[in-house]
């Protein structure tokens, strides 16, 4: 591989950087939501609506960062999630996004 090809591969594209920036923003949002839930003492309370269709649940259940307990609940058609579990799902999704080099 030429030096030019190596340089091109290691330089993040504008799209990759935007996706990485979105992942960081998503993780920060989830962390803030988790802190707020803790302060409001609702961290372990079920979230009223967390509407996901079957394909979305299946995609999220494949995220490596999620706990097995959450993955099992995502596999079921119905099931409630706590505020902390929703934050975990969002953090898992943010972690799965590509990172800028």
Q: Is the pLDDT of residue 29 over 80?
A: yes
What is the tens place of the pLDDT at every residue in 35-94? 999 999 999 999 888 888 889 999 999 999 899 999 998 888 777 899 999 999 999 988
Mean pLDDT of 26-39: 92
The pTM of the full predicted model, rounded to 2 decimals, is 0.74
Nearest-CA neighbor of 47 among 66, 73, 26? 73
Instruction: Provide the residue ranges of all domains of the chain, joining segments of one domain with +.
Output: 14-96
Nearest-CA neighbor of 80 among 96, 69, 91, 90? 69
Which pLDDT score is estimated for 98? 64
Neighbours of 91 (CB within 10 A): 21
φ/ψ (deg, to 5) at 46: -70, 145
CA distance 18 to 29: 16
């Amino acid at each position: 591989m030429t030096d030019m090809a190596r340089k091109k591969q290691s330089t993040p594209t504008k799209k990759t950087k935007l996706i990485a920036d979105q992942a960081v923003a998503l993780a920060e949002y989830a962390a803030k939501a988790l802190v707020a839930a803790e302060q409001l003492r609702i961290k372990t309370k079920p979230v009223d609506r967390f509407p996901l269709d079957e394909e979305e649940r299946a995609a999220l259940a494949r995220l490596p960062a999620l706990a097995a307990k959450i993955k099992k609940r995502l596999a079921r058609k119905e099931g409630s999630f706590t505020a902390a579990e929703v934050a975990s799902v969002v953090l898992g999704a943010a972690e799965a996004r590509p990172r800028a080099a």
